[in-house]
Structure 1
Amino acid sequence: MATKNRFSSKPQSSLLPWLGIAAIVILLDQVSKITITRLFAYAEERVVTAFFNLTLVYNPGAAFSFLRDAGGWQRYFFTAIAVGVSLYIVYLLKKHAGQRLFCWALALILGGAIGNVIDRVAYGHVIDFLDFHLKGWGHFPAFNLADSAIFLGVVLFILDELRRVNK
């Protein structure tokens, strides 16, 4: 997959596969959110297993509903942060396109960030619907596929850093 730039002897890898992974994350995230909003009323809950429900909730804040009652400014703040981080991730993907695990991590984070930005811009909040819980311990805050991709990307990023440190 690596090609040589005719003006440099340094091999380069394409940015396109990583942007493709991010696009797939965005597509799956948006299709799942559209589906859930068409099938569920707000706050409606359907039990799937003893520890997992599907439910439609809105999060105008950040992770774990942080700043959800902040009055609306947080929508623009978190959108700006996500756009800035996304641009920086694209730069890193281009610069390090040949580092597979690192780029997988970044591509997942990029797709998740953009998926949630789309929600903030289109609806003013992020659509969440995955609800895990344990009896007696309460419910974990609901989340979505974009959040899952970001989480998985962070895990891969940490693994990549640990692997790099151990070399």
Structure 2
Amino acid sequence: MRLTLWTGFWVFLADQATKYIVVHALGLMERLQIEVIPGILEFRMAWNRGVNFGLFAGFDMRWALIGLALAISGAVLAWIARDGGGRLALVSAGLLVGGALGNVVDRVLYGAVADFLNVSCCGISNPYAFNIADIAIFVGAVGLVMFGGDKTRPERGPGRGGKGRSGHDAKNP
């Protein structure tokens, strides 16, 4: 669990630090666009009031999304505390929780999530922006699907209070 909390802490810190540097220190809020690597990476200011890719941005969902992010973070932490998991599952949980809390702070402070990373390639312009928290949430969710759960725990067999291979209770055949 300690690995999950430390991972979450560092993701949260990296997310908030990059948002502060890019949005405030570099003045992206006023400039709206800063080219970093021409044709590949630019900082593009986007305030996401909705969910992924700005879906449902027309609705005032700020507090519902904050509540949902906190509930999911709490559920993931409870799951990891209860079931544990390997290092990759613990890191994945920390990535998801740290990213979710980073976006929660944005919604509380600004009413929307500050997105600023825009990656394009090969002459194709990407209209969407994202942030460090979004990357962490995505990677953490995929990691939990791939590595979550205790896949090393042996199946409970007869004599251990569980059901055997036949599916019948060991105490009541």
For the aligned pair, the TM-score class normalised by the smaller chain equals 0.7 to 0.9
Which residue number in structure 2 is paired with residue 64 of structure 1? 53
Alignment of 1:128 with 2:121, yes or no, is no
Alignment of 1:32 with 2:18, yes or no, is yes
Structure 1 unaligned residues grouped into runs of 5+: 1-14
Provide, for residues 38-83 of structure 1, a one-character-per-residue CA deviation record: whole Å limited to 9, x for no partner.
112436212222221112221111110111121x2x1111111001
Aligned residue type for 1:35: I
User: Which secondary structure does the structure 2 equivalent of 1:138 belong to?
Assistant: coil
How many angstroms apart in 2 are the aligned matches of 1:33 and 1:149? 14
- The question of whether the paired residues in 1 share the 8 Å contact of 2:116 and 2:130 is answered with yes
Which residue number in structure 2 is paired with residue 22 of structure 1? 8
TM-score, length of structure 2 as denominator length = 0.77
User: Which of 94, 100, 104 is the aligned partner of 2:81?
Assistant: 94
Q: What CA RMSD, in Å, does the superposition of the two structures yield over aligned residues?
A: 2.1
Structure 2 unaligned residues grouped into runs of 5+: 152-173
Question: Between Structure 1 and Structure 2, which shows a larger proportion of strand residues?
Answer: 1
User: Which of 113, 123, 126 is the aligned partner of 1:139?
Assistant: 126
Which residue number in structure 2 is paired with residue 5 of structure 1? none
CA 135–68 in structure 1, closer or farther in 2 if over 3 Å, else same: farther
Provide the aligned length of Structure 1 versus Structure 2.
148
Alignment of 1:160 with 2:147, yes or no, is yes
Bigger-Rg structure (1/2)? 2
- The question of whether the paired residues in 2 share the 8 Å contact of 1:36 and 1:56 is answered with no
Q: Percent of counterpart pairs with the same letter?
A: 30
